[in-house]
Amino acid sequence: MEPISMEYWLALLYSMLAVIALPGNVWVIVVVMDQICSRRHYHYSTFRLKGRGQKRSQKAAVQSSATVYLLILSVVDLISILPVPFLVVDIFRNRWPFGLVLCKLMFFCEGANKSLSPLLLTALSLDRYMAVCLPMLVWMRQAKFACFILLLCFIYSLFFIVPVIWHSEVNGMLDAKHKLHPKCVVGMSRLFDLLQLVFCYAAPLLIICSVYLAILSRLYRHTRKNFASAGISAIPNSSRRRRPRTRISLTRVVKSSVLVVAFYFVCWTPYWVVRFLAMLQGLYPFLSFPHSSA
């Protein structure tokens, strides 16, 4: 059976996403690993020094949590694009020729992208909240604590990944001409879909938005306090030096906050809206292939 034009476009879309995501995530991994290695080398080289060098080493150590989150997030994104060649073959041939093991592996990659990535973005947002609003909690921004949070996120995501892998199978499906084709499918209940919608999309989105609103509120109050202090200062040059620095910092945080929330919202909202509408209409009994938005 020749694939229709819509299937060609779908295969092209998957291929373009893979081509864009592969070098981008590899570049992020290389940069983050270089930063981690550089900080570790600097930390050991200044371990016995006192004063300024030691303070910089400690600062580099407490900032390593964000790099850990970024590294694992890029790895998860790379895992999510692994099944793209199999999906393209499945679309063009209108059959799944790779067997049950690769079928389950494909749904594992999809589950990692759909369940684990939002948790990692949430953890990264909370880490930034700790850095801005609770800087005294240094131990919560170290690499060891970040690894512990990553372990919790992975265990949490398994509650939504394992059932999908368990129920995935290669089953025959009828096309428009009533011809049977083997396809990699999974059938989950509406309750499972609803729980995944709430705990893997709505809850992380609410937490991310709340966290960045709290960060912006804290920085806004800090900015007003700096302006008030500068206004009553007896040294005008000092006050003029403080204002631009505070404005730039606030602007940078606003931009990064908007980008994080917009990226999460744009990537996942269309997918979950379609799934939610399908659940309401009772039109989502099976998945013929994973739908990935990132």
User: Does the pLDDT of residue 48 top 70, yes or no?
Assistant: no
- Return the amino acid letter for 99: G
Taking the C-alpha atoms of residue 118 and residue 134, their distance in angstroms, rounded to an integer, is 23
Three-state secondary-structure class, residue 266? helix
Residue 224: count of CB within 10 angstroms of its CB: 11
User: Does the pLDDT of residue 285 top 70, yes or no?
Assistant: no
Angstrom CA distances, 173 to 89, 97, 103, 107, 263, stand at: 16, 14, 15, 18, 35
Query: What's the whole-number mean pLDDT along residues 143-151?
Result: 91
Least Cα distance to 208 among 113, 267, 121, 89 occurs for 121
CA 85 to chain centre: 22
| pLDDT tens column, 59-74 | 444 457 888 888 898 8
Report residue 202 as tokens: 């709505």
Q: Give the residue extent of every domain in the chain.
A: 6-41+62-224+253-283
| pLDDT tens column, 20-31 | 878 888 888 888
Taking the C-alpha atoms of residue 260 and residue 265, their distance in angstroms, rounded to an integer, is 9
* Domain topology for 6-41+62-224+253-283: Rhopdopsin 7-helix transmembrane proteins (1.20.1070)
User: Does the pLDDT of residue 122 top 70, yes or no?
Assistant: yes
Taking the C-alpha atoms of residue 71 and residue 76, their distance in angstroms, rounded to an integer, is 9
Exposure string (b/e) for 118-157, b if CB count within 10 Å is 16 or more?
A: bbbbbbbbbbbbbbbeeeeeeebbbbebbeebbeebbeeb
Residue 171 pLDDT grade (very low, low, confident, very high; cuts 50, 70, 90): confident
Report residue 226 as tokens: 């700096």
Phi-psi region of 35 (alpha: psi -120 to 50; beta: other; left: phi over 0): alpha
pLDDT of residue 43: 54
